[in-house]
Every structure is written in C-alpha cells, then in structure tokens.
C-alpha cells in the first residue's frame, strides 16, 4: 500500500510540473489518504506485536 501512495505522489508531482492541476490535486489526495491508511495499519500491527509478547 505504501508503494501505491508513492506512485500517486510521483504522478501528482509530474502532473503538477506539466500544469495539470486537477490531476495533480487528485493524485496528491489519493497518495495522502493511502499514506495515512498505511501509517494506521503499521501502528496497529506494532501495538499488537508488543501486546502479544514473547511466547517460549
């Protein structure tokens, strides 16, 4: 999912350089949403890992 966020970020930057403001804005918004979803899932998995602890 982080790969998709980076892909949309690159598309937004290229579209912004070329002057396609609507495409750049939409791609940037999608990249931002995907990044925050990735961040929340990462933090949830990190918390679950520390709550589970070690089982030997």
Question: Does the pLDDT at position 55 exceed 70?
Answer: no
Query: Which tens digits make up the pLDDT trace of 1-30?
Result: 678 778 877 887 887 777 777 777 787 888
Residues with Cβ < 8 Å from 32, sequence gap 6 or more? Answer: 5
- Exposed, middle or buried: residue 35 (CB in 10 Å: 0-12, 13-18, 19+)? middle
pLDDT given for residue 54 in this prediction = 65
What pTM did the predictor assign?
0.59
HSE-CB for 31 with a 13 A CA cutoff: 16
HSE-CB for 39 with a 13 A CA cutoff: 7
């Amino acid at each position: 999912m982080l790969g998709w966020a980076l892909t949309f970020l690159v598309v937004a930057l290229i579209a912004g350089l070329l002057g396609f403001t609507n495409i750049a804005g939409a791609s940037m918004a999608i990249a931002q949403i995907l990044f925050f979803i990735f961040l929340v899932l990462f933090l949830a998995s990190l918390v679950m890992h520390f709550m589970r602890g070690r089982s030997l």
